Amino acid sequence: MELKQKQVDYYFPKGFWWGSASSATQMEGAAKLGNKGPNIWDYWYETEPNRFFNEVGPEQTSQFYDRYKSDIQLMKEVGHNSFRFSISWSRLIPNGNGDVNEQAIQFYNDVIDELISKDIEPFVNLFHFDMPLSMQEMGGWESREVVEAYVRYAQRCFELFGDRVKYWFTHNEPVVPVEGQYLYGFHYPALCNFSKAVQAAFHEILASAKAIEIYKRMNLGGKIGIILNLTPSYPRSQHPSDVEAADRADLLFNRSFLDPSVKGTFPKELIEIIHSEGFTPVIKEGDLAVIKENTVSLLGINYYQPRRVKTKEHLSNPSAPFLPERYFDYYEMHGRKMNPYRGWEIYEKGIYDLLIDIKNNYHNIDCFIAENGMGVENEERFIGTDGSIEDDYRINFYKEHLKWVHKAIEEGVNVKGYHVWTFMDNWSWLNAYKNRYGLVSVNLADDYKRTVKKSGKWFRELSDLNGFKDVTR
């Protein structure tokens, strides 16, 4: 260990998790194979392919279903000691609520066993935006019946795989289905209905707590958490109106899921806003007690960009559908650093600010960076003489974020690991393969051929040394 510390400028704690994150729909492919049932993405593509970039849908994606053995070997070669994937609810239980698919059991058992055989810790997420179509037809997260079906699905997963999987997550980014399905129209069924959004959000939190309750009761000896995309809200100025606008944005997008997940209670200010606007959800007797008593033991944090906010410049139309932006406007900070392909600001210190907030306000709960990454278009422009993509921009992106993660650890934050998005280029919801994020490239024109990028080779060194050098230091 001493030798490694001498070789690096930023050394991370022993046992640090180095790896990547993925999701079933974005990576598995085989959408109509192995007795898998349809999910909302399969259906939406079938009915409205024009919604998808270049009309590329989820049927094939990156073919992990057929290539998992060679892909897991490649994970080992690029330095993974951990890997987060999701189970497809509609693959395991094709109707969402009923008989379990034996072919799916075999597939996920094989994946888990293969990871373990390569000394890669499996992190399993139960829900990553892929609601079974049968469950969506019952109302999706608006429906109490779907909550109960999800809990039964979670229990089956614990029973089937809990002897080997020691890190579980109930949801990835639960605010995103709320935004996409009920506010901004980028997930099926693309509604604009804040009342349904609130009910769906409450049910997601309730479903998470109920799954945690069952997991704890089963006494399987692992940890169960949730993965939240936390976006720090920065006010334009310290003027009270700007500060209040940033607080409202943080309340609606971050604390709405963070507080009940970690503290077991909803923020008082959020309850007041929801009530005053007339959107109080249906809450049954005992629901709040279940949420209170079943908080997470591990928090995954996805960080990509900051949110910059100012007070409203103009009054909102009172007759328009209610949206969170009723309380604030976005603004573009002068001189901001951008990823021009994704249209997102790059602000590395935001990851530190989030972690310090977790330390100061959320019991310094054990946490890890569950996603961090940079999507770039047309990466084939950067192919080097050896045939691999020379993505120095991605290496720099990781380094600059990791410096702030390291600083947070030095200041006592319980950060246990760093997972990038993602292992290999994958299909990305409505954007298909427009932006590439992987440590490994996937050539769609050449039978989905995998090639390790420069960032993948660097990541192997990062993991081997448990840290990295910084020539600018």
Active-site amino acid positions: 173, 371
- Provide the CB-side half-sphere exposure for 134 (13 A, CA): 15
CA dihedral 71, 73, 78, 80 (to 10 degrees): 100
* HEC sequence for 311-373: CCCCCCCCCCCCCHHHCCEECCCCCCCEECCCCEECCCHHHHHHHHHHHHHCCCCCEEEEECC
Single out the residue of 394, 397, 391 nearest to residue 346, CA to CA. 397
State how far the Cα of 393 lies from the Cα of 453, in Å rounded to an integer: 12
Question: CB of 17 within 8 A of CB of 417?
Answer: yes
State how far the Cα of 411 lies from the Cα of 263, in Å rounded to an integer: 22
Question: CB of 239 within 8 A of CB of 255?
Answer: no
**Structure-token match 């298909």, residue found:** 432
Question: CB of 226 within 8 A of CB of 261?
Answer: yes
β-partners of residue 122 are 83
Question: CB of 53 within 8 A of CB of 432?
Answer: yes
Residue 3 is given by DSSP the state: H
Question: CB of 311 within 8 A of CB of 244?
Answer: yes
Could you tell me if residue 140 is left (phi over 0), alpha (psi between -120 and 50 degrees) or otherwise beta?
Answer: left
Q: How far is CA 249 from CA 65, 98, 100, 232, 303, in A?
A: 39, 39, 41, 9, 16
State how far the Cα of 324 lies from the Cα of 245, in Å rounded to an integer: 11
Question: CB of 28 within 8 A of CB of 39?
Answer: no
The C-alpha angle 422, 428, 430, rounded to 5 degrees, equals: 165
Question: CB of 188 within 8 A of CB of 40?
Answer: yes
- Rg of the chain over all Cα atoms, to the nearest angstrom: 21
Residue 11 is given by DSSP the state: E
| Structure tokens, 462 | 């990062």
State how far the Cα of 54 lies from the Cα of 43, in Å rounded to an integer: 17
**Structure-token match 């410096």, residue found:** 403
**Structure-token match 């605010």, residue found:** 175
